[in-house]
């Protein structure tokens, strides 16, 4: 065999070997049952102020599971809400629908579970299980892919059950993006039976202007929460009325003293609010434990934020933003960069390897991960613009 023929044979053998290797890799990729891209869990909560979270320095109650997310990930200390994720505004929901659609195009399986206040026929999610009335805390109705059914239990527990069930039954050959929305700390919140009366003997400090909001609330059970009372089982109603009947007696005694009644109303409002925060934290802990038990925790990006914030301090309308993703984020990272929850949209697209539309609102925060929360050069100009907007709107630290 001459040199030319020998070279041709060698080249042909190498080419066949490379093709076979590529075919094997492609086969393994297609049939291994799982893509090596991160899962996404986006937890959005109504009216959740950073001042009451222990991971942000709050000392009224402890929120250990939210603390765990912050300790194992990145806490943003200057995040402001633009109401682009969960608010009852058609353009806000359109952003979530578009985000889901883009992720689906990138082979993500998407689910929306919990609170959703926009009536729309085209959801762009693979799976939906939506709370029909956000003011229902006991035995609420849910719309699961178009079918209405009543669920027994407390709303935060049920929403978490549904989220875990989706993760259990999803298509494991695809990564998933779970939009996981709580109404737990809504201004009309009602505690779970296990937390009723938990802080009845605790006197909390007065927080303004929360005090002004609380004195507007009607604590007479028959007037304030008839729908929830009608939904309760006899056992639930019995537990509820043990606490509420005492409150109604107190209202009668304090009616002749408006100042004392207002102070009492504030304490009850805050007690109810903090106990619903406990149920929220417990259920976030349940989800974390499930992901840990199934070995999926470290390949899942968990983001917790709020669409709005309870107005505790007029000068500080910040919203929490915590991101846990150990593949990219060091533990105990803290960022002072100015951002908004509009930045979550491009951030999730960036992390998932999905192309970011040129006209999208916000900027990806992924570069912040790589410098342990510091301000990367790529975001310096954007941060300056955000800071300018804050000053224009009188949002001070």
Any idea what the CATH number is for the domain that residue 50 is in? 3.40.720.10
Answer yes or no: is 7 within a domain. no
Q: Kindly state the average pLDDT of the residues 290-304.
A: 96
Answer yes or no: is 223 within a domain. no
Answer yes or no: is 148 within a domain. yes
Q: Kindly state the average pLDDT of the residues 344-358.
A: 91
Q: Kindly state the average pLDDT of the residues 307-315.
A: 61
What's the pLDDT at 396? 46
What is the phi/psi pair of residue 117, to 5°? -110, 10
Q: Any residues with CB less than 8 A from the CB of 4 and at least 6 apart, and which?
A: none
Answer yes or no: is 118 within a domain. yes
Please determine, for residue 117, whether its predicted confidence score (pLDDT) is greater than 80.
Answer: no
Range in 266-280, 299-313, 346-360 with the lowest mean pLDDT: 299-313
Residue 218: half-sphere exposure toward Cβ, Cα within 13 Å: 7
> What is the pLDDT confidence band of residue 119, given thresholds at 50, 70 and 90?
low
Distance in angstroms (rounded) separating the CA atoms of residues 197 and 219: 14
Q: Which of 298, 292, 346 is nearest to 325 (CA)?
A: 298
- 300-306 and 321-324 strand pairing: antiparallel
Q: Kindly state the average pLDDT of the residues 23-30.
A: 40
> What is the pLDDT confidence band of residue 163, given thresholds at 50, 70 and 90?
very high
Answer yes or no: is 16 within a domain. no
Distance in angstroms (rounded) separating the CA atoms of residues 97 and 76: 25
* Mean pLDDT rounded to a whole number for the chain: 79
Range in 108-112, 280-284, 313-317, 361-365 with the lowest mean pLDDT: 313-317
Q: Any residues with CB less than 8 A from the CB of 218 and at least 6 apart, and which?
A: 224
Answer yes or no: is 203 within a domain. no
Q: Kindly state the average pLDDT of the residues 98-113.
A: 92
What's the pLDDT at 186? 75
Structural domain boundaries, residue 53: 39-188+272-392
Cβ proximity of 180 and 141 under 8 Å = no
> What is the pLDDT confidence band of residue 359, given thresholds at 50, 70 and 90?
confident
Distance in angstroms (rounded) separating the CA atoms of residues 40 and 302: 6
Please determine, for residue 113, whether its predicted confidence score (pLDDT) is greater than 50.
Answer: yes
3-state secondary structure 137-150: CECCEEEECCEEEE
Please determine, for residue 322, whether its predicted confidence score (pLDDT) is greater than 60.
Answer: yes
Please determine, for residue 33, whether its predicted confidence score (pLDDT) is greater than 80.
Answer: no
Answer yes or no: is 68 within a domain. yes
Give, as one character, the DSSP assignment of residue 318: B
Q: Which of 146, 181, 185 is nearest to 163 (CA)?
A: 181
Range in 16-30, 189-203, 335-349 with the lowest mean pLDDT: 16-30
Share of the chain above pLDDT 90, in %: 42
Answer yes or no: is 215 within a domain. no
Please determine, for residue 368, whether its predicted confidence score (pLDDT) is greater than 60.
Answer: yes
Q: Which of 31-35, 81-85, 219-223 has the highest mean pLDDT?
A: 81-85
For 373-394, the pLDDT digits (tens) are 566 655 554 554 455 444 444 4
Q: Structure tokens of 261? A: 């009644």
What's the pLDDT at 95? 67
Q: How many domains does the chain have?
A: 1
Distance in angstroms (rounded) separating the CA atoms of residues 144 and 65: 28
What's the pLDDT at 9? 46
Q: Any residues with CB less than 8 A from the CB of 376 and at least 6 apart, and which?
A: 367, 368, 370
């Amino acid at each position: 065999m001459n040199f030319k023929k020998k070279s041709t044979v060698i080249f042909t053998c190498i080419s066949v070997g490379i093709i076979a290797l590529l075919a094997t890799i492609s086969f393994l990729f297609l049939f291994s049952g799982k893509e090596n891209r991160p899962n996404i869990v986006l937890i959005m909560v109504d009216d959740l102020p950073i001042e009451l979270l222990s991971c942000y320095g709050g000392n009224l109650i402890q929120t250990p599971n939210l603390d765990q997310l912050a300790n194992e990930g990145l806490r943003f200390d200057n995040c402001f809400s633009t109401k682009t994720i969960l608010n009852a505004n058609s353009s806000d929901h359109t952003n979530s629908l578009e985000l889901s659609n883009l992720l689906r195009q990138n082979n993500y399986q998407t689910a929306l579970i919990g609170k959703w206040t926009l009536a729309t026929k085209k959801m762009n999610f693979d799976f939906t299980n939506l709370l029909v009335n956000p003011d229902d805390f006991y035995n609420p109705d849910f719309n699961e892919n178009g079918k209405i059914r009543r669920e027994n239990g407390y709303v935060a527990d049920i929403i978490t059950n549904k989220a875990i069930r989706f993760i259990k039954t999803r298509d494991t050959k695809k990564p998933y993006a779970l939009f996981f929305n709580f109404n737990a700390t809504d201004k009309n919140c009602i505690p779970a039976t296990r937390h009723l009366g938990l802080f009845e003997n605790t006197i909390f400090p007065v927080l303004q202007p929360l005090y002004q909001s609380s004195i507007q609330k009607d604590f007479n059970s028959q007037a304030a929460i008839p729908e929830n009372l009608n939904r309760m089982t006899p056992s639930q109603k019995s537990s509820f009325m043990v606490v509420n009947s005492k409150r109604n007696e107190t209202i009668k005694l304090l009616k002749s003293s408006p100042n004392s009644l207002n102070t009492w109303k504030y304490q009850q409002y805050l007690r109810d609010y903090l106990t619903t925060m406990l149920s929220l934290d417990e259920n976030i802990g349940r989800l974390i434990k499930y992901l840990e038990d199934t070995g999926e925790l470290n390949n899942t990006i968990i983001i917790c934020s709020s669409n709005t914030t309870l107005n505790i301090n007029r000068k500080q309308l910040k919203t929490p933003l915590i991101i846990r993703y150990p593949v990219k984020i060091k533990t105990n990272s803290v960022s002072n960069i100015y951002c908004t929850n509009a930045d979550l949209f491009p951030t999730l697209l960036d992390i998932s390897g999905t192309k970011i539309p040129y006209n999208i609102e916000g900027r990806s925060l992924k570069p912040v991960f790589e410098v342990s929360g510091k301000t990367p050069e790529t975001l310096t100009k954007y941060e300056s613009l955000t800071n300018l907007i804050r000053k224009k709107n009188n949002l001070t630290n």
